Amino acid sequence: MSSIMFGSPSLKDDSSIVQRRDSSMGPGMDKIQLILDEIYEYSKKEILKVQRNLDVIYGSYSDEKKNGINQLHEHLKAHVTSFLDEVVLESEKDKNNIIKDIEELLAEKEVLEKELQMHISIDDHNDATPLIDVQINIDKSLQECRKIKEQRMTELHKLQEEEKQICQLLNEKPTYSGVTEMPSATLLENIKSHLIDLKNTQIKRRSTFLEQKSKVELLLADLGEIPILQFDKLVLGDPNQFQLSKSNLDELQKLIKRLENQTENQKCMAMELRTKLNSLWDRLQIDVSYREHFVSTKKGFGKTVIQDLKVEVERCETLKKENIKQFIEKLRSELNDLWDRCHFGDRQRKQCQVYYSTEYNEDVMDILDIEVDNAKKFYTDNISIYHLIEEREHLWNKMIMMQEQANDPARLWQNRGGQLLKEEKERKVIQKELPRVERELKNQLQSYEQRENKIFYYRDERLIDFMERQWDELKSNKKNLQQTKSKIQTGIKPQTPLTATRSKRKIVATSSNQASKVRKIGMDHKAVVTPRRQLFNFHNTNVATLVPLNSTKLQEVNLTTTRPHPTFHGSNDENGSVESYATFQV
């Protein structure tokens, strides 16, 4: 065959060449040699058939036969060459594919090692190792790593889906939705931690939502309202349908604030209506049983209740107009009581001319009603000032009373035991509380006058001036009293015939009978008034100058001697001033 195809000398020699080539190729080529032998035998047999046919056709030595053999040679060579080229090309392609697969496996190995942060070992091989074995070994080494990667990717997709669902509920943008490569163990832990935070946020927001939803339900129930707006209906609907977004929760907070404001408004409205209704009932002398029944059935501040209150107020207003004269007189009486509570003087009262009007009509009634409301508001707005005024009046009157008691010598015989100690404690309380009350009262008065830009009057006089005038009068009275005492003690007091006669008398000791009488009187806790007046001849004698009537050395007593007092001894004209409360004269 080879001699025909490739011009070899003889067919017999081709066999030996193939054998030599086969033997030179070494062991492992038996299968290929068998294939070559089969092809050779088959080709030889068929070519010989062609040769015999050509001999029959053209003769054994004709040129036509020679040309036929040449054509056969060319065609056979072309077909065999083409076929073998295809076979070689296919084998080269297979080899290159395996090499490419190996390269891809090695690249995958490098990526897996980087992603898994671990080294992947592969069985050793040399140049003689078949490529397919190399491919299989590498692929086998990567299988376990592929499982790890697959598990991580599966877990990543699961976590991403979970994050997506929670973020949809919270209306938040997913953080890890863009991760496409195999995550590291650290990244997976970070995603899990992030999901825990998201779940906690979801739980917290849901708890907040449910709490605020309950609050909305209560507010709407109190207001007697039903949800109208779409968002309000969504809040009161299925909790699972409410998106727990930050914007929705903010909107829910605004809804609660709006309902709370509406609640406060309706509370104030209901309170004003009830206050007005009570005033109307009082003035109209509405039956108590009717009032109690109405109040018991109209509780709260819902829309229906407020509407019923308005209807009742309108009914009473109609009755008020029908009984206008009686109503005006009650308004005048109520206004007068409020003026008394506010300590208004005549000048302030006369400014309200309608109070003194002799007419009885709706205009007078309405104006008086407004004046009553204004007086109530003025008293309520300044209630703290009036409380301080009352407290100061109490302390002031207590102080004046104690001064009068201290200047009455009879208390030595009338008030024995712990009475003087009690008075001393009361003085200390007054010394401490009166300055504090006056300071606080002055501060509030100054704040009022600065804020309102007008004077706060007390019985037609500026209250601050009134307080200062009280202290000035007290100082003046004390000064006059001290001067009178000084004249008496130094003998400058003008003498009357009675005092002149008494001054010539010698003060003698009280007899035993007199002393016993005095003791008996003292035991009965009664004051001996006549002997004291005859002895000193003035009414406001200082306690320190008094001498017990049962003393056996009355003539030796020095009238200028004073009894020391731990708190009030040594007082001067400044003790009663508004600036100093260390002591006050007793």
pLDDT digit string, tens, across residues 512-544: 333 333 333 333 333 333 333 333 333 333 333
Exposed/middle/buried for residue 151 (C-beta within 10 Å: 0-12, 13-18, 19+): exposed
Statement: residue 196 has pLDDT above 90: yes
* β-pair type (461-462, 457-458): antiparallel
How many Å apart are CA 382 and CA 442, to the nearest integer?
Answer: 13
Mean pLDDT of all residues in 149-172: 91
Residue percentage of the chain with pLDDT more than 70: 77
**b/e per residue, 185-205, with b = 16+ CB within 10 A?**
eebbeebeebbeebeebbeeb
pLDDT for residue 405: 78
Confidence tier at 111 by pLDDT (50, 70, 90): confident
Q: Which residue do the tokens 């449910």 mark?
A: 210
Q: Is the pTM of this model over 0.85?
A: no
Mean pLDDT of all residues in 46-60: 84
pLDDT for residue 26: 52
Look up residue 7 and give its DSSP letter: -
Statement: residue 548 has pLDDT above 70: no
pLDDT for residue 482: 80
pLDDT for residue 528: 36
Q: 210 near 239, Cβ under 8 Å?
A: yes
Statement: residue 382 has pLDDT above 80: yes
* Residue 224 phi, psi dihedral angles, 5° rounding: 70, 30
* Residue 301 phi, psi dihedral angles, 5° rounding: -145, 30
pLDDT for residue 195: 93
* Residue 457 phi, psi dihedral angles, 5° rounding: -95, 150
Which is nearest to 240 in space by CA: 300, 181, 163, 165?
165
* Residue 122 phi, psi dihedral angles, 5° rounding: -125, 145
* Overall residue count recorded for the chain in this entry: 586
Which is nearest to 465 in space by CA: 575, 382, 578, 343?
578
∠ CA 344-347-353, nearest 5°, is 100
Work out the end-to-end distance of the chain between its first and last CA atoms, rounded to an integer number of angstroms. 160
Cα separations (Å) of 576 from 251, 442, 473? 64, 17, 10
Statement: residue 67 has pLDDT above 90: no
Statement: residue 130 has pLDDT above 60: yes
- What is the maximum span of the chain, computed from C-alpha positions, in angstroms? 209
How many Å apart are CA 240 and CA 213, to the nearest integer?
Answer: 13
For residue 212, give both structure tokens: 């605020």
User: Cα 491 from chain centroid?
Assistant: 78
Q: Which residue do the tokens 């998106």 mark?
A: 243
Cα separations (Å) of 520 from 529, 531, 548? 15, 15, 14
Q: 182 near 194, Cβ under 8 Å?
A: no
* Residue 184 phi, psi dihedral angles, 5° rounding: -80, 165
Which is nearest to 510 in space by CA: 545, 541, 451, 555?
555
How many Å apart are CA 433 and CA 430, to the nearest integer?
Answer: 5
Confidence tier at 27 by pLDDT (50, 70, 90): low
**b/e per residue, 483-517, with b = 16+ CB within 10 A?**
eebeebeeeeeeeeeeeeeeeeeeeeebeeeebee
Q: CB under 8 Å to 578, separation ≥6 — which residues?
A: 438, 467, 468, 471
Cα separations (Å) of 408 from 366, 402, 415, 586? 55, 10, 11, 10
Q: Which residue do the tokens 């509405």 mark?
A: 286
Which is nearest to 567 in space by CA: 435, 433, 407, 424?
424
Q: What is the three-class DSSP state of 458?
A: strand
pLDDT for residue 545: 32
User: Cα 346 from chain centroid?
Assistant: 52
Confidence tier at 321 by pLDDT (50, 70, 90): confident
Q: How much is the CA Rg of the chain, to the nearest whole Å?
A: 63
Q: Which range (58-62, 178-182, 460-464) has the least confidence?
A: 58-62
* Residue 374 phi, psi dihedral angles, 5° rounding: -65, -40
